[in-house]
Amino acid sequence: MFNLEIAKVAHEVNRAYCQALGDDSQLTWGDAPAWQRDSATNGVQFHRDNPDAGPDHSHNNWLAEKTAAGWVYGPVKDAEKKEHPCFVPYDELPVEQKAKDFIFRAIVHALI
């Protein structure tokens, strides 16, 4: 399976998980902004290149990508301000946010 196809599946599963948590802010893959689709695709490539990387490494990869793009911590996700509440070390994430990294990794490994 290609990275883009895996990223789409991972994105949609993440969107469903967020909805289960009461967060309806995630758009469908087709409506998601390019930066969000690119981020998911980057995450897939990261796990292809680093098959032994754990969920914490996945988060650290995401943090590095966001840092390079100018994102910072903010109490609420705001793409215009480039602020995100998960812009913290992995150990400081709430368990429901850590679960996203476990789920993403599992999807990638199941589909590659």
Number of domains making up the chain: 1
pLDDT recorded at residue 1: 81
pLDDT of residue 61: 97
Cα 83–89–93 angle (5° rounding)?
Answer: 80
What secondary structure letter does DSSP report for 28? P
Residue owning tokens 């991972």: 10
pTM (whole model) above 0.85: yes
Q: Residue 27 gets which letter from DSSP? A: P
pLDDT in tens, the chain (112 residues): 899 999 999 999 999 999 999 999 899 999 999 999 999 999 999 999 999 999 999 999 999 999 999 999 999 999 999 999 999 999 999 999 999 999 999 999 999 9
Range of the domain at 60: 3-111
For the four alpha carbons of 74, 97, 55 and 102, in that order, the dihedral sign comes to negative
Q: Which three-class secondary structure state does DSSP give residue 103? A: helix
Neighbours of 104 (CB within 10 A): 26
What's residue 13's pLDDT? 98
